[in-house]
């Protein structure tokens, strides 16, 4: 945060700093100093630091009650090694619901909670304290700083969660003011409001946008309809909350004439990874310990599911939490020189299609289809596995011509091949989830 030391901007800057301490607590500044130092530590030193933080959160989880005590004792607590750590059962969403019920009877959580995005099922509210939330925000702040922007600068935020009780909305409003965020809530009406949102961006002149890829890509259409880009150039556009496809990155960078940075995060776990300007999606090792299958690049489309241990939430520990996402932890060093491990995301683990041969990940199919679509159809086509072996490329009504439909049908046949019965069909306007997210793949169970 910066400003003129003699003008009103300086006074507002000081007021935001005071608000930051009130909203995030004093731990926020301590977390920032850790983040600054850790990123340049050698990889081996980073691993040692992480294991110390893992041990600390395991100890807190053990002391918290019977739920984790039983899980840890099965893995040989207190003699937990990196190998025996993997014997702790993964924490599923069903386990999480049981844990919330059991521990909730014993504690009063207060007001501060973070809600999961709900893309893997019903949203779940996770209790945490201000210190934990300060670590969450410090991770995002460091990542944005890599691109030359700062949380204190004006930003437009395109995320869901616009509604809620006053009890939970008041802290969000306070946080947004401290962070200089202006929200454009993403809901099922967002696509129709895109031109108005673009007007707001022109008026505010933010340093960066922060939001869902599908929402920012929707703004691309509004930019093209106007026939010009923004008068005020953005420093960076940070995309989070949904899988980021190559067509979205390409068209967003072209329309806004600025770089795109990917953040991997969630409401319940905070910032888990952030992309640097050299392209590495660096794990936020200060916040989370991530387990994912490490495999050869030639097999990368079949990456393993992600298990995450949250290292800061002592109010409600999350140990080996199954995020429902698929990824690969890479062993290649990033040219930026940071010792932080890097991650390659492959979308939701549930993004698999079923045919006679079994279950097949669809990430590579989706990237191929979307990359070959005409520009005006990008974001208007999604893939549905309506029955075993049956793939339908759904197209929003009123968008594609007859020639377009024939081209999409040919594309579907070429990409999916003889193992699938691929066809194309027009459907009504795509509906966003209650979270505001827009899935571009519908697995077979959705149609059951």
The partner residues of 354 in beta bridges, in order of sequence, read 359
The confidence score (pLDDT) of residue 119 equals 54
pLDDT of residue 13: 65
Angle at the Cα of 102 from the Cα atoms of 101 and 107, rounded to 5 degrees? 90
Q: What is the DSSP string of 353-373?
A: EEETTEEEE-HHHHHHHHHHS
Residues of the chain under the 70 pLDDT cut? 1-23, 25, 103-122, 161-171, 293-304, 446-448
* DSSP state letter for 162: -
Domains, the chain, ordered by start:
8-348 (3.40.50.12780), 352-447 (3.30.300)
CA 7 to centroid of chain Cα atoms:
37
Tallying the residues shown for the chain, one arrives at 448
DSSP state of 233: P
Spatial neighbors of 32 by CB under 8 A, at least 6 apart, are 138, 141, 142
pTM of this structure: 0.89
Give the per-residue pLDDT at 295: 40
Distance CA 152, CA 66 (A): 42
Do residues 310 and 290 lie in contact, with contact meaning Cβ atoms separated by under 8 Å?
no
Q: Helix 190-204 and helix 213-226: axis angle, to 10°?
A: 70
CA 197 to centroid of chain Cα atoms: 22
Give the per-residue pLDDT at 347: 85
Q: Please state, in angstroms and rounded to a whole number, the distance separating the CA atoms of residues 145 and 334.
A: 17
């Amino acid at each position: 945060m910066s400003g003129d030391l003699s003008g009103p901007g300086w006074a507002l800057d000081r007021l935001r700093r005071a608000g930051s301490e009130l909203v995030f607590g004093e731990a926020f500044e301590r977390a920032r100093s850790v983040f600054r130092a850790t990123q340049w530590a050698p990889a081996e030193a980073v691993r040692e630091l992480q294991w110390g933080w893992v041990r600390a959160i395991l100890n807190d989880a053990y002391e918290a009650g019977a739920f984790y005590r039983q899980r840890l004792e099965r893995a040989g607590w207190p003699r937990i090694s990196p190998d025996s750590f993997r014997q702790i059962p993964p924490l599923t969403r069903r386990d999480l619901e049981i844990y919330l019920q059991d521990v909730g009877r014993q504690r009063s959580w207060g007001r501060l909670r973070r809600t999961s995005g709900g893309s893997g099922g019903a949203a779940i509210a996770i209790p945490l304290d201000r210190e934990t939330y300060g670590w969450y925000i410090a991770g995002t702040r460091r990542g944005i700083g890599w691109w030359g922007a700062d949380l204190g600068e004006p930003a437009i935020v395109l995320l869901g969660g616009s509604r809620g009780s006053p009890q939970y909305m008041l802290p969000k409003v306070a946080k947004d003011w401290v962070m200089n965020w202006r929200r454009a809530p993403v809901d099922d009406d967002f696509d129709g409001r895109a031109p108005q949102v673009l007007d707001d961006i022109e008026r505010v002149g933010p340093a960066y946008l922060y939001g869902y890829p599908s929402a920012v890509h929707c703004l691309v259409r509004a930019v093209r309809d106007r026939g010009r880009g923004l008068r005020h150039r953005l420093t960076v556009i940070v995309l989070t909350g949904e899988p980021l496809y190559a067509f979205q990155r390409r068209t967003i960078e072209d329309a806004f004439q600025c770089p795109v940075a990917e953040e991997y995060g969630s409401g319940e776990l905070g910032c888990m990874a952030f992309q640097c300007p050299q392209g590495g999606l660096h794990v936020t090792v200060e916040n989370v310990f991530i387990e994912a299958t490490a495999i050869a690049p030639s097999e990368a489309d079949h990456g393993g599911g992600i298990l995450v241990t949250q290292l800061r939430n002592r109010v409600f520990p999350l140990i080996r939490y199954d995020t429902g996402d698929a990824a690969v932890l890479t062993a290649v060093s990033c040219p930026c020189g940071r010792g932080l491990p890097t991650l390659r995301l492959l979308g939701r683990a549930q993004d698999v299609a079923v045919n006679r041969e079994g279950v097949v990940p669809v990430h590579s199919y989706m990237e191929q289809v979307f990359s070959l679509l005409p520009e005006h159809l990008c974001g208007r086509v999604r893939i549905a596995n309506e029955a075993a072996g049956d793939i339908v490329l759904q197209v929003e009504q009123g968008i594609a011509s007859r020639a377009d439909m024939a081209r999409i049908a040919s594309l579907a046949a070429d990409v999916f091949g003889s193992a699938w019965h691929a066809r194309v069909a027009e459907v009504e306007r795509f509906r966003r989830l209650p979270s505001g997210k827009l899935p571009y793949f519908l697995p077979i169970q959705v149609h059951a």
